[in-house]
Amino acid sequence: MSEKVSERFVVTLKKSLMCVISFAPLLNFSKIQAMESPYSKQKGKRAALIIAHPGHELRVHHWLEEAKPVVLVLTDGSGRTSKSRLESTTRILQRAGARPGSIYGRFTDAGIYEIMLQGKSDLVLPLLNETAEFLIAEQIDYVAGDALEGYNTSHELCRYLIGAAIELARRKTGREIANYDFLLTGRPDECPERLRANAIHLPLDDAAIARKLAAAEGYPELKHEVEGALKQFGKILFAQEWLRPVPNHTGINLDHAEVPYYESYGEKQKAAGHYQHVIRFREHMLPLAQAMWAEVEKVNSGSPCAF
Ligand SMILES: [Zn+2]
């Protein structure tokens, strides 16, 4: 990797680490306790977790234990280094009873950055088709994955991929697959009122919190960030997990009135001489999302898709 490319990843790596543990303070228990979790609807169903970076699984650790999903991870989490952090995620999956799927650290972070920057749909479309085939072969009933937060471009790409792959699988088989997201930088208790009736909510008991903390503290690449988060917020921040229902089209219809964070941040880095190029929503991300949906549209839909 060139030095300039490496420099571009300094912050990307830090963000990918921080996004995992930047849990927020606390929770509105009065609202949560008044609700009955709809998780029972999905209990026993076949689940997949699809995330951009290894380590994201910590945010939904108890769901991981409960649902035991098959897990796809787009990058190896190497950032600007040559060291993958997939092994740490593999340990967590094994202890939770989950398992890696067919796409597991497919790209380096440098590689996926270049894919987005150069708009390499010839690499993204095979990934889309492979993900759809995975959903079909594993007979997945519902998927949880990165939310679209405008924060990290790999997270955004992952969200585009999930929605398009679910729709592609649905069109090919006629089977519905439910689509959920979870926040990586936002408050873990953030779930809009209008979504709560159909969201998966897991309040963690003391034992589940302890296991989640042990998993986070046992992730050596994130040790510093986990310690910082615990010191700042305390363990209670780990006590809620929300998987929120999300439309498959999320992102593609998004008309950013405001410049997304990743773009404004990239502009600052470029101005400071740290970046040569800035990944932008309209120039880079939206065309990739549109290319994926054009691929989806090649398969006729049997029925209107609510999502
Ligand atoms: Zn990340």
Q: How many CB atoms lie within 10 A of CB 28?
A: 13
Give the model's pLDDT for residue 30: 36
- Domain 3-293: which CATH class? alpha beta
Non-local (6+) Cβ contacts of 37 within 8 A are 200, 201, 202, 203
Look at residue 45 in the predicted model and tell me its pLDDT: 94
**CA 302–ligand 1 middle distance (angstroms):** 35
Q: Where are the domains of the chain?
A: 3-293
**53 CA distance to ligand 1 centroid (A)?**
5
How many angstroms does the Cα of residue 39 sit away from the middle of ligand 1? 25
Distance 241 CA to ligand 1 centre (A): 17
pLDDT of the residue at 38: 55
**pLDDT score recorded for residue 150:** 92
Ligand 1 centroid from CA 163, angstroms: 18
**Burial degree of 267 (CB within 10 A; 0-12, 13-18, 19+):** middle
Per residue of the chain (307 residues), give pLDDT as tens: 443 434 443 333 344 444 443 433 333 333 333 344 456 778 889 999 999 999 999 999 999 999 999 999 999 999 878 899 999 999 999 999 999 999 999 999 999 999 999 999 999 999 999 999 999 999 999 999 999 999 999 999 999 999 999 999 999 999 999 999 999 887 777 789 999 999 999 999 999 999 999 999 899 998 887 777 777 667 777 788 999 999 999 877 666 567 899 999 989 988 988 778 899 999 999 999 999 999 999 998 755 444 4
CA of 252 to the centre of ligand 1 (A): 20
What pLDDT does residue 251 have? Answer: 78
pLDDT for position 23: 36
How are strands ordered across the β-sheet holding 142-146? 99-107, 70-75, 47-51, 142-146, 178-182, 240-245, 200-203
pLDDT score recorded for residue 254: 61
Q: Give pLDDT, residue 82.
A: 82
Q: What is the 154 CA–ligand 1 centroid distance (Å)?
A: 7
CA 207 to ligand 1 centroid distance, Å: 26
Which amino acid is located at 224 in the chain? H
Cα 294 to middle of ligand 1, angstroms: 26
- pTM value? 0.86
pLDDT at res. 128: 98
Any idea what DSSP says for residue 36?
P
Ligand 1 centroid distance, CA of 173 (Å): 31
Q: What is the pLDDT of residue 22?
A: 40
CA of 296 from ligand 1 middle (Å) equals 26
Residue 85 CA to ligand 1 center (angstroms) comes to 12
Type of residue found at 103: I
The rounded Å distance from CA 78 to ligand 1 centre is 11
Spatial contact of 61 and 93, defined as CB atoms under 8 Å apart: no
Say which residues have a Cβ less than 8 Å from residue 156's Cβ, sequence separation at least 6: 148, 150, 251, 260, 262, 285
pLDDT value of residue 25: 32
Ligand 1 centre from 152 Cα, in Å? 7
What CA dihedral angle connects 283, 108, 67 and 184, to 10 degrees? -50
198 CA from centroid of ligand 1 (Å): 25
Q: State in Å: Cα 281 to ligand 1 middle.
A: 18
CA–centroid distance, 300 to ligand 1, in Å, is: 33
